[in-house]
Amino acid sequence: MEHSILPSNLEGYGGIRAYSTEASQTIRNKVLADIDAAFSACDIRDGAILSFHHHLRNGDGVLNMVLAVAEKRGLKDIHVAASSIFAIHEPLVGHIQRRTVTGISAGFISGPVAEAISRGMLDKPATLYTHGGRARAIESRELSIDVAFVAAPAADMSGNVSGTAGPRACGTMGYPKADVAAARHVVAVTDTLMAYPVPQIEIDQQAVDWVVEVSSIGDAAGILSGTTKPTTEPLGLEIAHRTAALIEASGLMVPGFSLQNGAGGISIATASALATRMTQTGVKGSFASGGITGFHVKMLENDLFEALLDVQCFDLAAVESYAKNPRHQGISASVYASPSRRGAVVDMLDAVVLGAAEIDIDFNVNVTTRADGTIIGGSGGHADTAAGAKLTIITTRLTAAGFPKIVDRIGTVTTPGETVDVLVTEAGIAVNPKRTDLVERLRTTDLPLCNIEDLRVQAAAASERQPTHSKGERVVAVSEYRDGSVTDVVRQI
C-alpha cells in the first residue's frame, strides 16, 4: 500500500507508526498434540503455579493428567492452585512424595490428598481459601497463576469453551473464570473438539492460548450425581422443618426472598419445606444461588424464584436447565462470592442454610477438620455466604459418629461466629445473642429456643467419644478468610 505522506509526529496524538503489510500473529488453530506440548508451549518450569477447577468434581481427570506430565518432565516444586481437590486426585499424593508438587492451595480439600497434607507430607503449608477469597487472591495477583488448565466439556480449535456440550457437560463454569482472566497462559483440555464455534460459549477464545484434545476429561459418573433428593430420615427431616419454620418466622420469606442451600439431604429437605410454604403463601422469591440442583430447577420452573444464579451445577437436571433456560444464569466465583467493594451475589442473600463439622458456643464453625484433626474440606462458599447473608443458619445434629458437634473449642475456625446467626439441632434452636432482634422476633413463636451452652451440654452427654483435634506442632495448612486474613491454622496430626 502506498501512503499519502504521513507526518511522523502529531501534536495531541503522538508518534505515528505508518501501517505496513499486516503480519498477523493470530493463531487460528490452537490445538496442540498433547499436554506435553502444552507444557512446552507455556514454558512450564520448576516452581510454576498451575491452576485447576472442580466442575468435574470427583470425576475430574484433568488435574491428574497434567501432573503426570509434570512428573514425567522431571519438574519440581509445582504449586497446585485448585478450586477444590477430591478423592479422585489421590495420585497427587505421589507427586507430593516425589516433590513434583510442594505447594497446594484450594477452596476445599478432601480424600487422600487432605490426609497426606494432615500428616505433614507437603513441604509448604497448604492454603485453604473461601471460594470468594480464592477469586480475590487471583484477581489481586496475590496468587499469581502461571498456567490455568481448563477441563472443557467441549472446545473448538480457536479455544472457545462450552460447558453444555459433550458427554461430560457440567453446565456453568464459574470457578475457572478468575483463573483464565489472570493466568499468563491458558490451556483448554477437552475430549470433545467441535466445529467452530462451540454452542453457549462459557470461556471465550480471547482467554485461551492452547487447546489439547484427550480421550476423556473424566468419569461422568463422578461428575454428576443422578438426582439430588431431600432426606427421608426422621431426625434430619425434623431439623429441616424447624429450619424452614425459622426462616418463615424471621420475616424474610416475603416477595423477593433469596436463598442458598447445599446439596445435602437436610438442606434440600429445608428447601422443600420452604417451597411448600412459599407456594401456600404465594411468595415469589428473587433468586437461589451457589451450587444448583434439580430441586432448585423445579422451584424456578414453578415460579418460586425469578432466577437461579449458578456457580456450579450439582446434577444433570441443573445442567439441562442451564442449557435451555435463560433465567438459569451462570455466575463466576468472583461474582458469586468475592469480598470486593463492588459486592457479590452472597451479599444479596436473605437466608443461607449451612452445615458444620463442629460449632462452638461462640457460633464459630469448623468445616475444615474432623474430630481427629484431619483435613476434610475447607470453607468453599461457607464463610462467604455466612458473611453475606442476612440470616445464616447452621443445621446439625448434636452428635455424629459418637462425637459431639457442639463443643467448647472447635478443631479449626473456618467461619467466624459473628457471621453466624442461628444453630438448628434436633434438640433445639440457639440464636446468636448478638441477634437481639431475631431473639425478640422468635420469642413469640413456638420454635424450641434454647441457649447454645445447653446444646453443648446435651451434645457432650450424648457423645461416646471426645474430639482429639490435631496434636502436632507443625502447621500443615492455613485457613484464610475471604479477605486474606487468617481464621486459623491446621496442625500436623
| Site residues (CB under 8 A) for its own copies, limited to 334-353 | 334-335, 338-345, 347-348
Min dist CB 330 to its own copies, Å, is 9
Among 48, 309, 423, 442, the residue binding its own copies under the rule CB under 8 A is 309
Residue 7 interacts with its own copies (CB under 8 A): yes or no = yes
CA-to-CA distance for 1 and 254, rounded, in angstroms? 67
357 within 8 A of 366, measured Cβ to Cβ = yes
CA 391 to chain centre: 20
Backbone dihedral angles phi then psi of residue 189, each to the nearest 5 degrees:
-110, 120
CA 252 to chain centre: 26
163 within 8 A of 55, measured Cβ to Cβ = yes
Mention every residue, 6+ apart, whose C-beta is less than 8 A from residue 278: 253, 257, 284, 285, 304
Residue 158 interacts with its own copies (CB under 8 A): yes or no = yes
| Site residues (CB under 8 A) for its own copies, limited to 439-458 | none
Min dist CB 360 to its own copies, Å, is 9
Min dist CB 129 to its own copies, Å, is 13
Of 435, 357, 368, residue with least CA distance to 396: 357
Residue 141 interacts with its own copies (CB under 8 A): yes or no = no
Among 419, 425, 432, 463, the residue binding its own copies under the rule CB under 8 A is 419
Three-state secondary-structure class, residue 227 = coil
| Site residues (CB under 8 A) for its own copies, limited to 356-395 | 362, 364, 387-388
State the binding string over 195-234 for its own copies (x if CB under 8 A, else -).
xxx-xxx--xxxxxx-------------------------
Min dist CB 105 to its own copies, Å, is 10
Among 141, 232, 234, 324, the residue binding its own copies under the rule CB under 8 A is 324
Q: Which is nearer to its own copies, 72 or 327 (CB)?
A: 327
CA-to-CA distance for 145 and 180, rounded, in angstroms? 9
Min dist CB 45 to its own copies, Å, is 19
188 within 8 A of 212, measured Cβ to Cβ = yes
Min dist CB 33 to its own copies, Å, is 19
Backbone dihedral angles phi then psi of residue 317, each to the nearest 5 degrees:
-60, -35
Residues in the chain: 493
Residue 120 interacts with its own copies (CB under 8 A): yes or no = no
Residue 11 interacts with its own copies (CB under 8 A): yes or no = yes
| Site residues (CB under 8 A) for its own copies, limited to 26-45 | 26-28, 30
Min dist CB 87 to its own copies, Å, is 25
| Site residues (CB under 8 A) for its own copies, limited to 245-284 | 256, 258
Q: Is the peptide bond before 197 cis (omega within 30 degrees of 0)?
A: yes
Residue 83 interacts with its own copies (CB under 8 A): yes or no = no
Q: Which is nearer to its own copies, 186 or 316 (CB)?
A: 186
Look-up of cell digits 434454647: 450
Residue 9's beta-bridge partner residues?
A: 15
- Grid coordinates given for 325: 433456560
- Strand arrangement of the beta sheet that strand 391-395 belongs to: 328-330, 305-313, 285-292, 258-261, 351-354, 391-395, 422-425, 428-431, 449-450
